[in-house]
Structure formats: C-alpha cells, structure tokens
C-alpha cells in the first residue's frame, strides 16, 4: 500500500489527500472515486457529478496540474498528488478572467457543467498559443453542456486567450502536452503533436499463440439477447463470422476469417477519445450444445491501451415457441489510458447498447433483410441521457 494510505479495521482506507494546497485526512472505501470523496468527505461540492462514466466532464479537476475526471479516478490513487478543485481556483488569475468572460458572454445557464468547463478552459487558456476557435472546440469536446449551445463558452474562452496574448502573456512552457483530460492522448491534437504515428493497419495484432494460456479476467458480466427465430438458425448465423462482424457496432474484419481464427478491429469513441483496437480472436464451438467460446486480445494503434477478453455463448429455446435466447458470459481486462473507461458500470451499459444493436441487426439478417452495418460504438448519447437524468433529479431536489 502506498504512502498516504492506511486500511482501518472496517476495511475503509484512511487517506491523506492534498486538496487545494491543504492536507486532508479522510476515510473512504478502497473503491471510492475522487469525486465522491471531494463532495462527501471534504464538502467540496463545486465538483459536480453528471454521468459518472467519464464522458460529460462535469467532474473535471486538476491532478498535479492536469485536467482529470474525478469520477474515474480512485481517491486512493491520489495519495501524494496535488488535487485542485474549482474552489481552489478562487484566487487564480486565469480562472478569474474566465469567470468574468463566462458572465459577459452568457456562457452558462443552469451552471451544472460550469465547474468542469472552467477547469478545462483554464487548461486551454494556459496552453493554446492563440485563440483558435477550432482548437478550443476540440479541447472542450470532453465537457458537455446541455443548456448553452457552446457558442458563449467558446467566445468566452477564445476571448480570454486573445486578451492574454494581446497583453504579451504567452502559453506556458510544456504547452505541447496534448489537449484534453488525462487519458485523452488519442485525439486529433495529440496525434498532431506526436511524430508520425504508425498507421493503425500496420499495428501488429496479438499473436494467436498468446491466447492459448489461462485467462483470468479482471471483470465479468452476463448479458442475454432474445431473438424471434429458432435456436438452430441463430446458432448457424453465429457460426458465420463475417455476418456476426457485420452486425456488431464498430467491428471490422481484416481479410477473410479462418475456421477458428479471426483478425480485425473494434472502433470505440468515448467523448474526446477515439481508439481502434486491432487484434485476433480464437473461436471454439460445440455444435451439439449450441454453444461456443471466443477468446481475443488486441491493442490500440499506438499500443498504449490493450484489452483481452473472452465471450462464452449458449443458444437455447426462448420464452416463446420458435424463439431463441443467447446467453453471453463476458470476461475482460483493459489496461493503459483507456482503462479509466473500463469501469464495470460503464462497460455493462455499453454492452447493453451493443447487445441491443447486435440483436436488431441479427434479427434483420435472420429475417432476410441485410441493412447497413451499424456505426462505430459511440456512448456519447448514453452519457448524455445519464446526464439529463441526473440534472432532472438534481432540479427535482432543488
Ligand atoms: Fe465525471 Fe461525467 S461525472 S465525466
Ligand atoms: Fe452547461 Fe447547464 S450551463 S449544463
């Protein structure tokens, strides 16, 4: 256990956190995220929680000077780090200029997004060389606002940057750090600031032999899909890898699959973060039991995030005659920057969306209709829905 952490008899951790320049001692569950500890342990309620899935940006704070999602950061991982919340920016010169500009430009209405927006905007003001509207929009793309339409926010931020540059205040040293929160290393600006990246197609997929050993996933969940077609027909379609890939949002195949091995990728978009995982999977089927197992491993184009997973599936008769139920047991491990988006709650929500889309297109194929392939997986709408629900609940309590 690292310095600054101690486990109590109740299983809670005694945490020593430096927040806004002051050392605090709080107790928290090992699984507590920083947002909860700030709000409930330290009463710093300026940090808002919207989606709690890493997409809306309402919870953005500074971790050692870099914007980070408090809802995705374990409080226990912050021992020894300097945490700055919006309250800690009261006396900050840039934040003061931004607050005045937000007022002037009507850049807030309900204000729910504003603390996270200010923290992210301050980072842009410090680092962008000039008031480039497109780069401001890209830099703020990880912070969602349901009220303003963003125009006032963008005007406020570009105005502060332009005014500071006109006063001869340049960007900070180290401003070349990619825009966006911790983990947003795969965005457009990040790519532009790196040496020419290895094309995604050239990234080496995981070796099939790597998939032969034991696999103990970090997370597991179960999912079921009901289809209005006989189990045998559903199982036969699941044996057709190309058809399955065509039904799976964001899936692309690299060449023709072999009988038990497939190579391809999965495109994922999460707020400002976009990644294409490429890899290989091995497939084993039990024709008599109408079941199978798919085991795969892959990494993103830069090789910074990697995933390994296993899906076990079984097709059985559904609740009504002539229908089928597909039970899925999914285990996965996600490492690297994108692991902050691998929280079980988020993955289960995404799996639910993928399963619903998969079932819809699978059903269309079984019915003889071959529609367009579903688009890349984009949980933006899911997060926005969650944020709307939170705001509605919050307003109801106010
Ligand atoms: Fe953290 Fe939405 S609450 S990103
Ligand atoms: Fe941005 Fe309301 S002002 S969510």
- Whichever domain contains 248, its CATH number is 3.30.530.20
Residues 293 and 357 occupy one common structural domain? yes
* Closest ligand to the CA of 148: 2
pLDDT tops 50 at residue 345: yes
Instruction: Tell me which of 199, 232, 262 is where a domain ends.
Output: 199
Q: How many CB atoms lie within 10 A of CB 105?
A: 19
pLDDT tens digits along 275-295: 677 888 888 889 999 998 888
pLDDT tens digits along 56-97: 999 999 998 889 999 988 888 888 889 999 999 999 999 999
230 vs 247: CA distance, rounded Å? 18
Strands 13-19 and 82-84 come out as: parallel
More confident position, 30 or 163: 163
**Atom number, ligand 2, closest to the C-alpha of residue 110:** 2
* pLDDT computed for residue 1 by the predictor: 42
More confident position, 142 or 177: 142
Task: Using most ligand atoms within 8 A of CB, pick from 34, 58, 67 the residue to mutate for ligand 1.
Answer: 58
Query: How many structural domains are present in the chain?
Result: 2
Task: Using most ligand atoms within 8 A of CB, pick from 105, 110, 121, 386 the residue to mutate for ligand 2.
Answer: 110
380 vs 357: CA distance, rounded Å? 15
Instruction: Tell me which of 142, 165, 199 is where a domain ends.
Output: 199
What residue owns the CA closest to ligand 1's atom 4?
54
Residue 81 is assigned to a structural domain of this protein: yes
Residues 251 and 114 occupy one common structural domain? no
Residues 137 and 244 occupy one common structural domain? no
pLDDT tens digits along 300-327: 765 566 777 788 889 999 999 999 999 9
Predicted model pTM = 0.54
pLDDT tops 70 at residue 191: no
Contact 297, 332 (CB under 8 A): no
Question: What's 167-217 look like in SS3?
Answer: CCCCCCCCCCCCCCCCCCCCCHHHHHHCCCCCCHHHCCCCCHHHHCCCCCC
pLDDT tens digits along 229-240: 999 999 998 888
Residue 119 is assigned to a structural domain of this protein: yes
**Residue 214 buriedness (CB in 10 A; 0-12 / 13-18 / 19+):** exposed
Residues 128 and 13 occupy one common structural domain? yes
More confident position, 174 or 368: 368
CA of 47 to the centre of ligand 1 (A): 10
Residue 164 is assigned to a structural domain of this protein: yes
Pocket of ligand 2 (CB under 6 A): 108-114, 145-148
Q: How many CB atoms lie within 10 A of CB 298?
A: 22
Q: What are 376's two structure tokens?
A: 């890349």
Residues 270 and 160 occupy one common structural domain? no
What residue owns the CA closest to ligand 2's atom 1?
145
Strands 5-7 and 13-19 come out as: antiparallel
Residues 165 and 279 occupy one common structural domain? no
Give the confidence band of 265 by pLDDT, cuts at 50, 70, 90. Answer: confident
Domain range for residue 10?
Answer: 5-174+192-199
């Amino acid at each position: 256990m690292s310095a600054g952490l101690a486990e109590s008899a109740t299983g809670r951790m005694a945490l020593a956190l430096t927040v806004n320049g002051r050392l605090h001692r709080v107790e928290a569950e090992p699984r507590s995220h920083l947002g909860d500890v700030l709000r409930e342990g330290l009463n710093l309620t300026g940090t808002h929680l919207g989606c709690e899935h890493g997409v809306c940006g309402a919870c953005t704070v500074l971790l050692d000077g870099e914007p980070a999602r408090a809802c995705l950061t374990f409080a226990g991982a912050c021992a020894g780090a300097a945490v700055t919340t919006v309250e800690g920016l009261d006396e900050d010169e840039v934040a003061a200029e931004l607050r005045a500009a937000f007022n002037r430009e009507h850049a807030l209405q309900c204000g729910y997004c504003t603390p996270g927006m200010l923290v992210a905007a301050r980072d842009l003001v410090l680092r962008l060389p000039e008031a480039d509207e497109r780069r401001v929009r890209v830099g703020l793309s990880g912070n969602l606002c349901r009220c303003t339409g963003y125009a006032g926010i963008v005007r406020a931020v570009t105005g502060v940057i332009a005014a500071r540059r006109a006063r001869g205040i340049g960007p900070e040293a180290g401003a070349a750090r990619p825009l966006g929160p911790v983990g947003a290393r795969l965005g457009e600006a990040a790519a532009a600031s790196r040496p020419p990246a290895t094309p995604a197609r050239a990234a080496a997929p995981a070796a099939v032999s790597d998939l032969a050993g034991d696999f103990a996933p970090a997370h597991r969940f179960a999912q079921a899909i009901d289809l209005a077609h006989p189990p045998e027909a559903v199982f036969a379609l699941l044996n057709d890898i190309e058809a399955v890939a065509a039904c799976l949002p964001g899936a692309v195949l690299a060449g023709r699959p072999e009988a038990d091995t497939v190579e391809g990728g999965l495109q994922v978009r999460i707020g400002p973060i976009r990644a294409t995982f490429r890899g290989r999977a091995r497939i084993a089927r039990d024709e008599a039991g109408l079941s199978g197992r798919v085991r795969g491993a892959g990494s993103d184009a830069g090789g910074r995030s990697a995933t390994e997973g296993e899906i076990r599936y079984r097709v059985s008769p559904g609740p009504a005659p002539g229908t089928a139920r597909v039970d899925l047991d999914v285990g996965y491990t996600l490492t690297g920057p994108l692991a902050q988006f691998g929280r079980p709650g988020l993955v289960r929500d995404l799996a639910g969306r993928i399963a619903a889309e998969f079932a819809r297109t699978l059903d269309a194929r079984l019915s003889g209709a071959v529609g367009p392939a579903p688009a890349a997986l984009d949980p933006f709408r899911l997060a926005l829905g969650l944020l709307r629900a939170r705001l509605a609940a919050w307003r109801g309590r106010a």
